[in-house]
Amino acid sequence: MSEDRIETSEDFRFPCPECGSEMRFDPEVNKLKCPYCGHEQDFDGEGQSGLANTEQDFKAALANDIPDEDIEENRVTDCSNCGAQVEFEGDTYSKDCPFCASPIVLEPRMSKQIKPKGVIPFVLSEDKARDEMTKWLGKLWFAPNNLQEYARKGRKMQGMYVPYWTYDAQSESDYVGQRGTYYYVTQTYTTTENGKTVTKTRQVRKTRWRRVSGHVSKWFDDILVLASKTLPKRFTDKLTPWDLSALKDFSPNYLAGHSAEAYSVELREGFIEAEAIMEREIRALVKRQIGGDEQRIDALNTTLSAITYKHVLLPIWLAAYKYRGKSYRFVVNGQSGKVKGERPWSKIKIALAVFAGVVIAAGGAWIIQAYN
């Protein structure tokens, strides 16, 4: 597999049989629907074959031992503004970047990538996603009022399938540590009260440490790792949880009218993050087993086996607005409607709040002086 991997999808077309326009996947009816004449069409791809939940061998993938039918090639280019790797289909050679709204022109580059096996289809329509974003903006203190209106009536939101890796593994961990148990001793001390020195006692907490060792086992199922470097993790990590039980077998029909980003975090790189997640959970498990009031882990040796992975696409609505010369990005979980984004500030609202605070403080000081 190439080190320079990008989005992967073939050039699929979905012409409407009634009017010839391009159909798109409509999450409200779970069908392909023509946005012009309203024609609806069922499609195969309801996730019945089980491919979406088929685990792939991690070590085989690292050794490039992947069947040719599981690899695809695509035309991609980099956005000069935000660095996103954007896929181009058919005869398209220019479009706006879905991540920062900057215009980009294709500089042809072919890239190979592992095909996704599973996808969570969009549940929220664009209108509902925009409603969720507008409500989120409305809850922000000091956000510009007209940004909400601009977002509601502004450019279209981009439905994007974002790449993720999931990892499974069996962990076996040996540890050496210490269990701390609290106990209390009576301490005598002197203090001054009413000009006199008095003797008092108090209870002081101490910790008695005892050396312990042991073994813990844990099966990790579907550790989810973002496979994109384009979207800020401080946004996407807060879009959780995802209901992975809703995974369907990948079908290009779900992508109709939407985009799919290629992974820029390689399989091995993603596993490093997954290992860190596993490490935190194993340490928490060890501390629970050590027990006591406090715990120390002096040595921890973990072996992972039966490591597998899946490449899946999850639905996110993106809004990238240029507002008064500055770009704002918002992401909406296309399954749950959860919203995160870059926080806009209104200088006028902040100034008014500061002014109001000064007025209230001055008024309070005047009242105190008036009644003293």
Give tens-digit pLDDT for 330-348: 889 999 999 887 655 545 4
pLDDT band for position 67 (cuts 50, 70, 90): confident
Q: Please tell me the predicted confidence (pLDDT) of residue 158.
A: 84
Q: Residues 342, 326: contact at Cβ < 8 Å?
A: no
How many Å apart are CA 21 and CA 19, to the nearest integer? 6
Place of tokens 């949880």: 241
* Other beta carbons within 10 Å of 53: 18
The CA-based angle 229-231-236, given to 5 degrees, is 115
What's the token pair of residue 285?
Answer: 């498990």
Run of H or E including 361:
helix 347-370
User: What confidence category does residue 352 fall into, taking pLDDT thresholds of 50, 70 and 90?
Assistant: very low
The whole-number pLDDT of residue 359 equals 46
Phi and psi angles of residue 254, each rounded to the nearest 5 degrees, phi first: -65, -25
- Answer for the pair 330, 341: CB distance below 8 angstroms, yes or no: yes
Handedness of CA 133, 134, 135, 140 (dihedral sign): positive
Structure tokens at 3: 């080190």
Q: Higher pLDDT residue, 265 or 324?
A: 265
| Residue 102 pLDDT exceeds 60 | yes
pLDDT value of residue 251: 87
Q: Which helix (H) or strand (E) holds 209?
A: strand 196-226
Give 301-325 pLDDT, tens digit per residue.
999 999 999 999 999 998 876 666 6
Task: Find the DSSP H helices in 19-178.
Answer: 58-62, 126-138, 145-153
Tokens representing 168? 């499974």
Check: CB of residue 285 under 8 Å from CB of residue 220.
Answer: no
Task: Output the average pLDDT for the chain.
Answer: 80
Q: What is the dihedral of CA 328, 331, 332, 333, to 10 degrees?
A: -170
For the ranges 44-58, 153-167, 187-201, 286-300, which has the lowest average pLDDT? Answer: 44-58
CA 137 – CA 154 distance, rounded (Å) = 14
